[in-house]
């Protein structure tokens, strides 16, 4: 086995049972990098400390042996980020389709309902809660 092969195997043995890189750790690394780049332009000690704290947090997450707890933290992070992405996508889709459709919120459950523009006044039935309300498209 070559020298680099031995190093690779030693690193694999060291990381066995540890968390490794996940989405939250990767986001912390990127956040630290962006804040460090900002600090190079602004030169404040606070941004430097924040960037280093994010680097240390990401390294701590990678080396942690409490895999279950890190997986739970990562699951919460991914769920939150996906929710935000979905809301942003839906907003831009509504803006894009605003000439064709008009959007309404159900007064009870706040679900978004769309109607074709120009279809006149209608009684809308909410697909989620069954509430009926009048709106003009």
Q: Provide the pLDDT for residue 110.
A: 82
Residue 12: the pLDDT is 84
Which pLDDT score is estimated for 45? 85
36 and 82 assigned to the same domain: yes
Per-residue model confidence as pLDDT tens digits over 31-77: 999 999 999 898 888 999 999 999 999 999 999 999 999 999 999 99
Do 40 and 16 belong to one domain?
A: yes
Same domain, yes or no, for 90 and 106? no
Q: What is the DSSP letter of 7?
A: H
pTM above 0.85, yes or no: no
Indicate the number of domains in the chain.
Answer: 2
- Same domain for 83 and 130, yes or no, is no
**What is the β-pairing status of strands 112-116 and 132-136?**
unpaired
Whether 103 and 51 map to the same domain: the answer is no
**Are 15 and 71 in the same domain?**
yes
Q: Give the per-residue pLDDT at 50.
A: 94
Q: How far apart are CA 77 and CA 72, in angstroms?
A: 9
**Is the Cα dihedral 89, 91, 95, 98 positive or negative?**
positive
Q: pLDDT digits over 78-107, tens only?
A: 999 999 999 999 999 989 988 899 888 888
CA-nearest of 79, 12, 27, 17 to 58 is 27
Same domain, 90 and 117: no
Q: What is 58-118 written as a DSSP string? A: HHHHHH-S-HHHHHHHHHHHHHHHHHHHHHHHHHHHHHHTTTTEEEEE-TTT--EEEEETT
14 and 61 both lie in a single domain: yes
Range(s) of the domain holding residue 28: 3-96
């Amino acid at each position: 086995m070559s020298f680099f092969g031995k190093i690779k195997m030693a690193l694999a043995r060291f990381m066995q049972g540890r968390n490794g890189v996940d989405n939250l750790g990767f986001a912390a690394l990127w956040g630290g990098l962006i804040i460090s780049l900002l600090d190079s332009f602004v030169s404040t000690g606070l941004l430097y400390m924040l960037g280093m704290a994010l680097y240390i947090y990401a390294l701590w997450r990678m080396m942690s042996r409490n895999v279950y707890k890190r997986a739970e933290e990562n699951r919460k992070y991914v769920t939150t980020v996906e929710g935000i992405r979905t809301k942003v996508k839906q907003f831009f889709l509504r803006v894009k389709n605003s000439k064709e459709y008009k959007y309404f919120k159900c007064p009870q459950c706040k679900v978004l309902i769309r109607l074709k523009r120009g279809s006149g006044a209608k009684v809308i039935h909410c697909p989620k809660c069954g509430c009926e309300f009048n709106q003009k498209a």
